[in-house]
Amino acid sequence: MQRSVRNIGHSGAAATAISAIDCALWNVKARLLDIPLVGLLGLVRDRVPLYGSGGFTTYTDDTMRSQLSHWVYEDGCRWVKIKVGSDPARDPHRVHVAREAIGEDAGLFVDANGALDFKQALNLAQLLAEDRVTWFEEPVSSDDLIGLASLRNALPACMKLAVGEYSYTPDDFPMLLTSKAVDILQADVTRFGGITGFLRVAALCDAFHRPLSAHYAPAMHLHVACAAPRLRHQEWFHDHVRIEQMLFNGVPQAVDGCIVPDLSRPGRGLDFRYADAQRYAI
């Protein structure tokens, strides 16, 4: 598949299409063998810790408070993440609201989606350290390896730099690691080569002694996340959790801050609800 897209490029739509096929083939193989997907991959943990992810910049303070406190106090998440960067002047206030909503013990992450320049990002990091933000995701563009590497050295010691969601090709992750541009790698089965790609990134994390975090789509990642030795957590992303629950039976539920694969079901354990999806057909 990789060879067949050489002329149109390996990134973007081609990478997501290849990822979808790879995920489907692993699922079919497990279903034909009548075993759970993780049975093919090798179980190293029986549950996957979650971090609640949302806190969109369009939210009011009250909406964000209610979302974040639900994840921590109802779902048991040990960490939450909010978006920053669209209005950097307002971000210290929003982060302070988030810290108050989740209490002193939960971890607090921020994600700028590459919206800032180097000096903006450094300034914001220093301000957010007061509320003990421990993860700064894509402070500058993920294409700016020099900026990421410089920022990683300049961030407060309590704050890790997370990157990887826009890594689509087999060279992207080694480039991030050898450029010393990342503390925690994020990988996404729907973008970087499916289950096969995720296993490759997990092996790279082992080789470089770096933690791995699964990005988006928790139901798609659950089994391979149970097979990745250095996996730290799975993103419990607001929109994807909602969509998965709308369209599939068998999706994982957050219990005590974790999701657990149902080992009694073959494959990924999901059933697509065709009737519920029909209204979205185009």
The nearest distance, CB 84 to Mg ion, in angstroms, is 11
- Span of 72-80, 94-102, 111-119, 247-255 interacting with Mg ion by CB under 5 A: 111-119
Catalytic residue set? 83, 215
- Span of 20-28, 105-113, 125-133, 231-239 interacting with Mg ion by CB under 5 A: 105-113
Residue with tokens 């149109």: 8
211 Cβ contact list (under 8 Å, min separation 6)? 183, 184, 185, 205, 230, 231, 232
For Mg ion, the closer CB: 37 or 80: 80
The nearest distance, CB 166 to Mg ion, in angstroms, is 9
* Residues 121-160: x where in contact with Mg ion by CB under 5 A, - otherwise, as a string: ----------------------------------------
The nearest distance, CB 143 to Mg ion, in angstroms, is 14
For Mg ion, the closer CB: 111 or 244: 111
The nearest distance, CB 56 to Mg ion, in angstroms, is 12
* Residues 155-184: x where in contact with Mg ion by CB under 5 A, - otherwise, as a string: ----------x-------------------
Number of residues that bind Mg ion (CB under 5 A): 2
Residue nearest to Mg ion (CB): 111
Q: How far apart are alpha carbons 67 and 158 in whole angstroms?
A: 25
178 Cβ contact list (under 8 Å, min separation 6)? none
**Binder to Mg ion among 75, 91, 111, 188 (CB under 5 A)?**
111
Q: How far apart are alpha carbons 37 and 55 in whole angstroms?
A: 32
Work out whether 75 is an interface residue with Mg ion (CB under 5 A).
Answer: no
Residues of this chain that interact with Mg ion (CB under 5 A) are: 111, 165
